[in-house]
Amino acid sequence: MLNKKVKSIILAAGKGTRMKSELPKVLHSIFNKPLLGYVIDAVNNTGNVDENYIIVGHEAQKVEEFVIKNYKNAKCILQSPQLGTGDAVNKAVPFLRDFDGYVIVICGDTPLITSETINSFIEFHDNNSADLTVMSAIFDNPKNYGRIVRDKNNKFIAIVEEKDASPEQKTVKEVNAGIYCINWKTVSKAFQSLKNNNAQGEYYLTDIVKWAVEQNLIVQSYILENNEEMFGINSKAQLAEATKILNKKSLERLMDDGVQIVDTNSTFVSPETTIGADTILLPGVYITGKNIIGKNCKIGPFAHIRDGAVIGNNVRIGNFVEIKKSTIKDNTNVSHLSYIGDSELGEKVNIGAGTITANYNPISKVKSKTIIKDGANTGSNSVIVAPVTINEMASVAAGSVITKDVEAYSLAITRSPLKIFSNWVKTKIQQYSGGNK
C-alpha cells in the first residue's frame, strides 16, 4: 500500500524531426496504436495513477484529439514554445499546486515500458522514502546516454550528459533512463529554479537532480531489469525495431499459452490480443488492436484481423481474409478472399470465398451491421449490403447482392439468367479474319 497518491506527467510536445513526418512523433503507431497510447495505458494499468497530464506542443491539436477521444483521466497542457524537458514539466506545476503525493514523469515515445516496471519503480521510491528517484539502466556500451554520477560514498549526485562528461565519467555504465518519480510537494520547487545557460537555451529536467542534492534531499536511482523498456522512438528505423520487440514478446506469450505459430518471422500479433490454446497461426497473419480469439482455431495464411474482433472456438479464418470489429461464434468458417466488418456471425456459419459485408456508406459516413445467424451460408462472390440480417439456415447463392433480410431456411439469389450464344466465338474469329480460318 503506497503512502501517497500518484499522478503522471507525460512529455509529448516534441516534433520528432528524425521521423521525417508531418505526423507528431507520439502519434506514430505500432499495431495501429499510437506510441502515446502505449505509455498512457502502461501508466493507467499500474492501478496507482489516477490522473495524467500530457504536455503537448508540436501539432498539439492532433495529439489532444487523440487523448480526449481515448482517455477520460488525462488533461493536455500546451508547451509553446518548446524550451526543454524541464520547462515542459514546469507547465504542469500550476495544475498540481496543492498536490501532496508522487508524480511520475515519463516520455510519450517509450512504448516498451510496462505497468509492472512502473509499479516497481513507484514502490521502490516509496519504500526508500525518497524525494526524487531516477530510473536508470546498466549498459556495457553506454555511448550517447547521460551518466549517473556518484560520489566516493556511492551517493547519487548528478546526471551528466555524454557531451559534458569527463573521460572518467564516460566509463560509467549506469545511465539515465529518462523516467522520474518525484515527491511533488518537496521537489516541484526545483522547476522554478532551473537555468537555461546552455548552448540550446533549454531547461533540462536532469538538472532537478543537482538541485535536490544541493537541498540535501534523498535522491535514489532504480535500476531497470530489462533495458529494452527505456527504448525511445526517434526515427522510423527505431519504430520498426520497437515493433519487432513488442511482437516477439506477444508471440512468446501466446506460445507459452499453447498457441501454435508456424513462422514467428512473418506473424505479427498486437499485445492486447488474447488467443486460446491449440489455435494455429499460419504465416503472414497480421493482427492489430484488441481482439479475443478462442481455442482450436486456424488463422491464415495471410489473414488480417483488426481491432474489436471476438472469435469463438473451432473457427477457420482462411487466407487473404480481413476481419474488423466483428463477432464470430463457434464452429464457423470464413473462407479465403473475404471481408467481414461490423458483423455478427452465429455458430456453424459458412462464408464462401470472396464474400464481402459492405458495411460503409461513403456519403453518410455511417457503418452499419450485418447479422448472419446460426447455420446460414453464403456462396462465393456474394455481397451483403448492411444493414441486413440473414436468418438461421438461410442460403445466399453465389454471386448474389443481398440488400434485404433473408428468411430462415430460404434461398436468396440475385443472379441474372444464364444465356449461351452458340458459335459466338467462332463467328467473331471469322468476322475479324475476313472469313478465313
Any idea which residues carry the catalytic annotation?
A: 336
Residue 205 grid coordinates: 529536467
Nearest partner of 384 among 347, 348, 334, judged by Cα: 334
Q: Determine how many CB atoms are found less than 10 A away from the CB of residue 309.
A: 24
CA distances (Å), 207 to each of 87, 94, 138, 158, 335, in order?
11, 20, 21, 8, 60
Residue 120 is classified by DSSP as H
How far is 129 from 193, CA to CA, in rounded Å?
23
How far is 71 from 382, CA to CA, in rounded Å?
39
Residue 239 grid coordinates: 519504430
DSSP 76-90: EEE-SS---HHHHHH
Q: Is 427 exposed, middle or buried (0-12, 13-18, 19+ CB in 10 A)?
A: exposed
Indicate the pairing of strand 360-361 with strand 411-412. Answer: unpaired
Sole residue written with cell 479464418: 317
The alpha-carbon radius of gyration of the chain (Å, integer) is 29
24 cis-preceded (ω within 30 degrees of 0): no
Residue 251 grid coordinates: 508471440
94 cis-preceded (ω within 30 degrees of 0): no
Q: Is 316 exposed, middle or buried (0-12, 13-18, 19+ CB in 10 A)?
A: middle
As beta bridge partners, residue 324 has: 341
Maximum CA extent, the chain? 106
How far is 270 from 291, CA to CA, in rounded Å?
9
Residue 325 grid coordinates: 470489429
Residue 327 makes CB contacts below 8 A (sequence gap 6+) with 309, 310, 311, 343, 344, 345
Secondary structure element (H or E) that encloses residue 214, with its range:
helix 207-214
Q: Are 340 and 334 in contact (CB under 8 A)?
A: yes
Q: Determine how many CB atoms are found less than 10 A away from the CB of residue 118.
A: 25
Q: Are 316 and 298 in contact (CB under 8 A)?
A: yes
